[in-house]
Amino acid sequence: MRVTQFLRAAAVVALCGASGVGQLKPAHPPAGLVQGFVVYDSSYHRPRRVWVYTPPQYDAKREQPYPLVLAFDGDEYRDLMPLPRVLDSLHEVGSAPAFIAVLVDDSSSGVRLADLCNAARMPEFLARQLVPWLRKGWNVTRDPHRVIVTGSSAGGLGAAYVAFVRPDLFGNVWSQSGAFWRGAEASNEPPYEWLTAQVMKSPARDVRFILDVGEMENHPTLGGSGPNFRDANRRFRDALKQKGYAVTYTEVPGGNHAPQWWRTRLGEGIETLSRAWERH
């Protein structure tokens, strides 16, 4: 379920999680630039909005290209979550490098699910159009180990799926309340937990995962007929570990399926992943 009824003003609340982001000072760090674009998506045959964030003092000619964050549900991650301000703050206090970010619009309802729920056209669009477009226009890394793909709910599933399919582009997944119970191509019918099954039957990819799910997300899906949301996350975690992936998994105490839980921890996942690649 995508939550869109929250006031946009809520986007300025609770940017800090349990990591070093909790000591963010000053309260208003220098702000990066967010620019909106429309890209014609030839995989889905429709115009698609995207927003590109560049950090303060962005240098298009810098010798080392900038690492990248790609976020699904781009309009929500622009304001409601809000990813640009989180990246500003992380960089200001030295908790993460300066990033470029691209925020991808995924519309709503069934159109959104057709983007994000194990949909083969999405990694096709990203690989054939969006990533080359970014590389042409911005000084962004080509190293998948310095790229994070993130999202919440169906977006969390989408992040894991596109990295599984294209580990040459996306080496880090930050999934919050990922909808891992779903079948292939947004199916609401069995067999459920399709991506978990694919992980189990395939060689491990060179991808690092951080997975969050709320401890209160222990409800079944589809009005009671589908898999338990939290337990599907547990089974996805177990499959990754069995195949040898690097996985960090958290059941957020008191957490439920809503943005107020996701945005408080958004910065922590980015900080953790960027520190992991710096150690290597």
The SS3 of residue 276 is: helix
Tell me the per-residue pLDDT of 80-89, one tens digit each, with 9 for 90 and over: 999 999 999 9
What integer pLDDT is reported at residue 277 of this predicted model?
81
Domains and CATH numbers, the chain: 40-279 (3.40.50.1820)
User: pTM higher than 0.85, yes or no?
Assistant: yes
What integer pLDDT is reported at residue 278 of this predicted model?
73
State the average pLDDT over residues 109-134.
Answer: 96
What integer pLDDT is reported at residue 83 of this predicted model?
98
Other C-beta atoms lying within 10 Å of the C-beta of residue 38? 10
What integer pLDDT is reported at residue 27 of this predicted model?
60
State the average pLDDT over residues 185-191.
Answer: 92
State the average pLDDT over residues 12-28.
Answer: 43
CA distances (Å), origin 118, targets 15, 34, 54, 157: 29, 28, 29, 7
State the average pLDDT over residues 176-190.
Answer: 95
Tell me the β-bridge partners of 148: 69, 172
CB 48 within 8 A of CB 39: yes
What integer pLDDT is reported at residue 172 of this predicted model?
98
> Could you please report the per-residue DSSP string of 89-127?
HHHHTTSS---EEEEE---SHHHHHHHHSS-THHHHHII
CA-wise closest residue to 265 among 90, 17, 72, 26: 17
Percent of the residues in the chain that have a pLDDT greater than 90, as a whole number: 83
Tell me the per-residue pLDDT of 237-279, one tens digit each, with 9 for 90 and over: 999 999 999 999 999 999 999 999 999 999 999 999 999 887 6
State the average pLDDT over residues 155-167.
Answer: 98
State the average pLDDT over residues 105-117.
Answer: 91
